[in-house]
Chains A and B, each alone.
Chain A
Amino acid sequence: MPRMNEKVSYWMLVVPALAIMVIFYIVPVLGIWKIAFTEPETGLTNFVAMAGSNAVKTSFVITFRVAAITTIGCLFLGYIVAYAISNYSSRLTPLMVALVILPFWVSVLIRSFSWIVLLGRSGIVNDALKGAGLIESPLRLMHNELGVLIAMIHVMLPFAILPMLTNMRGISGAYVLAARSLGAGEWTAFRQVYFPQTMPGVMSGALLVFVLSLGFFVTPALLGGGRVLMISEYITYQIQEFLNWGLGSALSVGLLVATALVLLIAARFVNLRAALLERK
């Protein structure tokens, strides 16, 4: 136990960052709550408008649907990669890890731009399909939910892979070996012995991807072409097009509350500390 005056000197190290965060970040974000309840008038007007609007309802449904499908897609694809990396070690394993981390360093903006180039009306995919004589007129691959989902899964995939990888690397191979030697087939041993042990990693990955997807803006805005209005884009519409700060802020509060609820529910299944605070 550090002595009292010693504790003070440790707090001196903590306080600058903490103070800046509280004053310039926490206070402004709380300010959004205040706007939601006070502009244009004090009361619940904005929330009443929000609850009564079908457009808002649709936007929330789209947001949760896109986030959910993205999460499932990332978990499925990511599991395969994480499994292969942690169970079949070869000369190529370090390369695989590097390639998983690589997209992290390329900005979301550029990755979304790449998907526009690929999926557009006269994009590479459509041109290739037409060149091969497989289609007559271009397919609609973006400016719809499909395009948003493809690009979102691409952007979020590393967030799903890394927690699963950390988890799988800590799993001893002895259990699967034991199951196999007792006569279980490869798939049975995987399903009944290996898979349950990977649940903590799967859950942390799911939480990260879902929470980040809920509030995502760049990719849905670029690939959705205004037709897949997730809440974040809906908020910017309200504020930039209609200067409706009241409704925009109320929607922000709604999004924050939704995120907080997801975290609260997740806390029952996931070790939030390990998933967020002590991320490797």
Chain B
Amino acid sequence: MMPRSTFQIFFQTGAWVVIAFLVLPLLVVLPISFTDTSYIGLPKHGLSIQHYVNYFTDAAWLGATWTSIWIGLVVATCATVLGTAFAIGCWFLSDRASSIARWVLITPILVPPVVQSLGFYRFWVVLGLIDTNMGVILAHTLLALPYVSISVFAALTNLDRNIPRAARSLGASVLQTVWAVVVPAAKPGIATGFIFAFIVSFDEIVGVLFITVRRVSTLPKMIWEGIQDNIDPTIAAVATVLVVITLAATAIGVMRKK
């Protein structure tokens, strides 16, 4: 091992300190979720799984979880289909107009969540979509589209334009070329886009707070209301389940890369 200078020590140790700051707070929900108390806090006399039992038996929590999952899947499917077609069309065109179209499609990233939610609320009232699953799906699809479009477009930048051209000159129609040549090349981007779209919908809270009332309840909304009203340790159990799933998925991802 080479002797290390202060410079190297600063950056190497510093980086791990910062990463600890990023990751460790995610883990605090774990001990809290096993608390034997009825309020948020570390376990007092022993560990208890009562808050997990509560989560997995409470109809409201389970219902909200299920709603979030199925809405997320529908949103991811819609956004992936629309966004992939969009990105592929723009990639073929690659002109000024399509470039403007791409800017239009990413506006949801830039507009503050509260502002867009006000817009949704007023328009959804007119359309009769307030407090409906359809209303949430539509809003989430719009919010997810930028991510799909960006990731599919990024996957296409490495595709040689001569390949679809060759397909066309050999007699394939535009649709056949898209389907048999471009879509396979864009696959990694499409997959990333789908996952992103699901997560965007699954985690979205501000829009849901504005456009739903009683009938539609998603997991983030239950967590939000739980934090606002009485801090119930069930939230810690839910959070732990989600964090553990995320950790497992990341670990699998790292393993597969190696």
Contact = CB atoms under 8 A, between A and B. Distances in A.
Contact of A22 (B90, B104, B257): B104
B86 A14 contact: yes
A95 interface: yes
A62 to B, nearest CB: 15
Q: Per DSSP, are chain B's interface residues mostly helix, strand or loop, or mixed?
A: helix
A114 B239 contact: yes
Interface in B122-175: 122-123, 138, 141-142, 145, 149-150, 153-154, 157, 174-175
Interface string A37-65: 00000000000000000000000000000
Contacts of A13: 85-86, 88-89, 92, 178
Interface size classification for chain B: 35 or more
A24 to B, nearest CB: 6
Contacts of A190: 7
B115 A256 contact: yes
Contacts, number: 253
B62 interface: no
A10 B89 contact: yes
A154 B254 contact: no
Contacts of B188: none
B18 interface: yes
A122 B229 CA distance: 17
Interface string B103-118: 1111111111111101
Given A252-B114, A263-B110, 5 more contacts: A13-B92, A78-B18, A83-B11, A110-B239, A276-B106
Interface of B: 5, 7-8, 10-12, 14-15, 18-19, 21-23, 25-26, 28-29, 32, 40-42, 82-83, 85-86, 88-90, 92-93, 98, 101-116, 118-120, 122-123, 138, 141-142, 145, 149-150, 153-154, 157, 174-175, 178, 199, 202-203, 205-206, 220, 223-224, 227, 231, 235-236, 239, 242-243, 246-247, 249-250, 253-254, 257-258
24 contacts: A2-B92, A17-B149, A21-B145, A25-B116, A26-B104, A30-B119, A35-B122, A84-B11, A95-B254, A105-B246, A106-B246, A107-B202, A109-B220, A109-B227, A110-B26, A116-B40, A116-B231, A187-B7, A216-B112, A218-B206, A222-B227, A256-B111, A256-B112, A280-B154
